[in-house]
């Protein structure tokens, strides 16, 4: 089901049903690129600015670490918290997203495919002509980011789909990516984002290895507006699509998209049964 169809269904639900848009949130937003032009997988800069203005006005924007601390303490239910994350570490994060975040003093987490520093988005560009070639940041560029505002996390070595890897390759993707990043940026790497991130894209082997290598948490792309402290290695996120307006973002954060979570779980269960 494509994004336009999902948006149409959720828009209809928003019109016919009532939702509590004042309840607590522990939501994690997923961005990829930010660019002045309207290119695939990148939110237009002017729209990104509108998103940040909206989020800053209506929510408490916290770092991923702060959100986890709030979940652990039980204080996450006292307010509406949002954590901002960016997957793939495109150069356009440094060029366009970072200045806007810094101007507003908003924290974020940047997930980096550690084996592709200075490379490009081969997993998209090489297989789909609708994607533009996007450069990935170098180690030197990562070091330009203010460590008090931007947390660096691992997005594996090569942006590989975890569930398809052998045990040895999975170990490298998780362990070596952390080691490389910590050496390059001279700070500890505590968080991991599963490439692709749907329920079928990783398994319990990955969770075991993340704990082995002393990661503190991992994020998925499984939809969810609220997270729990018991699910630190399967944190839910809300994907922000290229054409999402402020109103689209408001709807995603207020409930009409919640049907996506059981839909994703059902699809995953059916796939699991079919593979047996």
Task: State pLDDT tens for residues 86-106.
Answer: 999 999 999 999 999 999 999
Whole-number Å distance between alpha carbons of 229 and 157: 27
**Burial class (CB within 10 angstroms; exposed 0-12, middle 13-18, buried 19+) of 148:** exposed
Q: What confidence score (pLDDT) does residue 20 get?
A: 67
DSSP secondary-structure letter at 197? -
Domains and CATH numbers, the chain: 23-274 (3.20.20.370)
pTM (2 d.p.):
0.95
Count of alpha carbons within 13 angstroms of residue 163, beta-carbon side: 11
Q: What share of the chain is helix, strand, coil (3-state, %, to 5)?
A: 45, 20, 35
Can you give the pLDDT at residue 151? 98
pLDDT confidence bin for 131, thresholds 50/70/90? very high
Which among 225, 229, 201 has a CA at the least distance from the CA of 217?
229
What does the buried/exposed string (b/e) look like for 16-48 if buried means 16 or more CB atoms within 10 Å of the residue's CB?
eeeeeeeeebbbbbbbbbbbeeebebbbbbebb
Please tell me the least confidently modeled range out of 127-131, 168-172, 264-268. 264-268
């Amino acid at each position: 089901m494509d994004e336009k169809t999902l948006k149409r269904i959720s828009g209809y639900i928003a019109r016919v049903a009532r939702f509590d848009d004042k309840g607590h949130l522990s939501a994690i937003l997923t961005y990829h690129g930010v660019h002045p032009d309207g290119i695939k997988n990148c939110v237009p800069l002017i729209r990104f600015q509108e998103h940040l203005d909206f989020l800053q006005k209506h929510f408490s924007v916290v770092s991923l670490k702060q959100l986890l601390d709030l979940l652990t303490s039980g204080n996450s239910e006292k307010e509406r918290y949002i954590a901002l994350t960016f997957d793939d570490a495109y150069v356009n994060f440094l060029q366009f997203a970072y200045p806007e975040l810094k101007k507003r003093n908003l924290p974020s987490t940047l997930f980096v495919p550690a084996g592709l520093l200075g490379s490009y988005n081969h997993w998209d560009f090489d297989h789909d002509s609708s994607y533009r070639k996007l450069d990935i940041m170098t180690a030197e560029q990562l070091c330009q980011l203010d460590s008090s505002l931007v947390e660096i996390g691992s997005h594996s070595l090569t942006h590989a789909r975890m569930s398809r890897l052998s045990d040895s390759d999975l170990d490298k993707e998780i362990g070596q990516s952390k080691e490389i990043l910590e050496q390059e940026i001279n700070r500890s790497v505590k968080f991991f984002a599963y490439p692709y991130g749907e329920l079928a894209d990783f398994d319990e082997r990955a969770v075991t290895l993340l704990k082995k290598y002393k990661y503190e948490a991992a994020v998925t792309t499984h939809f969810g507006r609220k997270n729990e402290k018991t699910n630190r290695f399967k944190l839910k996120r809300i994907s922000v699509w290229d054409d999402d307006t402020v109103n689209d973002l408001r709807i995603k954060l207020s409930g009409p998209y919640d049907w996506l979570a059981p839909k994703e779980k059902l699809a995953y269960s059916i796939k699991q049964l079919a593979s047996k």
